[in-house]
Structure formats: structure tokens, C-alpha cells
Amino acid sequence: MVRTKKVLKKSLKKTKVQAVEPIILQTLRGMKDILPSDQPYWDQVRRVTERLARDYGFFRMDTPIVEYANLFTRTIGEGTDIVEKEMYAFTTRGGDKVALRPELTAGNCRSYIQNGMSVFPKPVKIFSTGPVYRYDRPQEGRYREHYQANFDAYGEIDPILDAQVIQVAYRLIQNLGIKSVQIQVNSIGCPVCRKDYRNLLVNYLESKKAKLCQDCKRRSTVNPLRVLDCKEDKCSQVSASAPQSINHLCDECRTHFKVFLEYLDELDLPYIINPRLVRGLDYYTKTVFEIWSGAEDGKKHSLGGGGRYDGLIKSMGGEDTPAIGFAVGVERLILEMKRVQAKPYKAPRPRVFMAQLGNLAKRKSLKLFSELEKNGILVAESFGRGSLKSQLKVANKLGVDLTLILGQKETLDGTAIVKNMATGVQETVSVDKLVELIKKKLKADNVVVYHN
């Protein structure tokens, strides 16, 4: 018994001396808080993208953040940077190999097949937004957790859809107040003509291998098209003289690209052909494009891009389904909005403030606040403040038109004081008539009632 007590005491001592791991009060590298001061920009992006999606016939779809890992390795490509370096992949307790989604298209295609959306009238247009995750070195406008708005259209091979999708991307950026925009386009062909072009490119890169960066030396055989997109100076010099995909298209791809450019001309969109544009994912075919902002100082910033992926759904086990889509980076859009001083969303501000004095008035004011809100009147309050003077200071700071004052007497009488903040005039009104009176006063001042 004595020995048992000694062992227990030793055990308790060991438990006490164990250091408690401190909470690290900062975000992980590459993660970021979206603070209230930035939310008006995010609200503006949300409003513009959702309105355009509705106007162009895109229906919203949300897919899980976590998917089976091979959904991405098989569709994006094992030789791509995303799969090789950037995926957040892990094994669950149940043994499933999963990953945080590095992009939205693969999940959307999985959902398209799983939910039998191939029977829908064509084209099937899908709009998605949400966070994506890439374990890459954080850079300006792209964090390890960043947000995308994604537009996809399934079931139509006609290049008119390519042009319309690019028109949506262009309109989105213009509607956010970013006026200086350049569209870069290219065609990387189909599996038929790309095979010969790939062999030609591999042979060319092999002859220039000594001049390539370490990543591109590996890419030159695994994923040679990615060499053309490398931003290293020495690789750019090599790719400048490389064979161009648009010079090696089959008849079908050449015709598709020609008609596509005619549609862009018809829409009067500001585009250039960039023969080095390939995009970084294996599933792209034919049309590829990127949207760049053109700042006055000559610096250009990539805002998003996309292209055709006609073979992706079939490769995943679905029907043979042509498709095209694009994604824009929300953080990059917001950075550009700030650069060009584009206006964020301006939320409707309250025109009425509610002040209360005493515990009984506090209880009654909660119900009155709810009644005003249900009738579409935006009301501000400061329920925790005790004195009328401190509450009126808040009302003045907010710049409201009217302040409702509930004290002990008013609460017992079933009334409220309505104070005009501009003139200082006060009147006592029955609570039963308060909503209609406030509506009349706000309309008289040309104030639109919230929700109406």
C-alpha cells in the first residue's frame, strides 16, 4: 500500500512537470486572415461573379474541399508542378489517400459524372467558388490557401463557346473596375497532332538541355510543354526559338482555332496570340488562354486563365464530353482592384439607431429591433453601453438620420422617442405605429428601405 502511494506520487509529479505546448498566435505560412477591412473587396468580387454567372446561364455547384488524391494525380498529371510539389496529400485514419483540392475543375468533372449531369441540355454551365490549396512557396496574390472563382461549360465543341467563356472572364474583370486588360490565347492542339509536336519539341529541348534550369531539364522529357511557360531568363531564351504548337496543328484544330479567333474579333476583345502559352495542367486541349492586367507602369499581372479539356471527362470514366472553363484568383483580383483604385462594395449603412436606458428597456428593445429588421429597416445599436450620452455619440459617428430612445417611462407607456439627428427635434410615438412612421420618414428623405 505504501509503495503504491509512492508510485502514484511520482506519477503525479511527472504529470505536473510536463511542459504545456504554447498556442502559436499566428497563421501558418501561406495562410491569411480576411479581415473586416478587406471584406468590401471580397463582397464586390462575390457580387460581380455571381451576377455574371446568372446572366450567362451558369448554375452554382459546390464540391468538397477534400477528394481522393488520385482524382488530381490522374487528371492534372503526375509530371505537373501541382502534383509533384504542391499537393496537400495525406492518408486518413481509415486508410483513404486523399488531398485538399489544388483546383476546382477536377472535382466539378467528378460531380458531373457521378450525378448523371450528361443528360442535362447542352451546354451544361457550372459556376463554383471556394478555397484551393497548394503547398508552394507563397507569392504575391497566391497563398497556400487561396480562393478561386471557376466557370465550366460541358457538352459543346463549337469554338463559339470558347469565345463566350473568354467574354465572361473579360466582363468579370472589367466589371470589377480593372479596365486595362489583355487576353493571351494559343492552341496546343489535340492528342492526335500534339504527339508529333511533342516529339519535335523534346528533340529541340534535348539540344538545348545545357541552357535549361534544373526543373526544366527534368520537364524536358516528362512534361516538355511546361518548359515553354518557365519564367527563368535562360529558359525563356530557349523557348523563344522553340517550335510553336500553332504551326503543327491538324486540320481540325487549325480550323477550330481560326474560327475561334474570328469570334474574338467579332466581340472586339483585346487579345494577342502567345505561342508560348501552354497552361500548367495535362488535361488541356486546343484553346488555352490567360487574362492579364496591364498596369500603367508597364508591369503586367496574371489574373486567371483556362482552356479546353475535351478529353478529361472521358478519361475519368464518363461519356466523351467536350468542355471548356477558366478560373480567376480572387486574391489577385483584389490586389489589382487596389492597384487601380477600383471601388469595393459599399454596404447599405443604417439610417436608424436604437438607444435604451435601463434593464426593462433593454429587454423591450431587443423585440423592437427584431420587428424593425423584419420590416426591412436597417438599425444600429450599442446594447452594452449604459448612458444615453455614450449611445448618442455612437449614433452621431454612424451618421444616422433617426435615433429611437427607449427609457423606463417609454417602456411602461408602450412608446418610444424618435429623435431627428439633423434638427434635434424629438417626438413621442406609440410603439404600434413606430414601424410605419419610420418608413415614412425615411422615404421622405429619399432613403431606400433595406430589403425592398
Longest dimension (CA), the chain: 95
Question: Which amino acid, residue 84?
Answer: E
Domains defined along the chain, listed by start: 39-190+250-339 (3.30.930.10), 352-444 (3.40.50.800)
Helix axes 214-222, 191-207, angle to 10 degrees: 140
Q: Phi/psi class of residue 256: alpha, beta or left (left: φ > 0; alpha: ψ in -120 to 50)?
A: alpha
Alpha-helical (H) ranges within 176-250 are: 191-207, 214-222, 233-240
Task: Say which residue, 399 or 142, is predicted with more confidence.
Answer: 399
What's the pLDDT at 85?
Answer: 64
The arithmetic mean of pLDDT across residues 249-262, rounded, is 96
C-alpha triplet 275, 281, 287: angle, nearest 5°: 45
Q: Given this model, what pLDDT does residue 12 score?
A: 52
- pLDDT-above-90 percentage for the chain: 57
Quote the Cα angle for 433-434-437, to 5°.
Answer: 85
Higher pLDDT, 300 or 289: 289
Q: Which residue has the cell 464586390?
A: 44
Count how many Cα atoms sit within 13 Å of the Cα of residue 313 in the half-sphere of its side chain: 24
User: Confidence class of residue 446 from pLDDT cuts 50, 70 and 90?
Assistant: very low
- The 8-class DSSP code of residue 136 comes to S
Banded pLDDT at 325 (limits 50, 70, 90): very high
Q: Which three cell numbers stand for residue 350?
A: 443604417
Q: Are 219 and 226 in contact (CB under 8 A)?
A: yes
Element holding 415 (H helix, E strand)? strand 415-420
Q: Count the Cβ atoms, other than its own, within 10 Å of residue 27.
A: 12
* CA 386 distance to own-chain centroid: 42
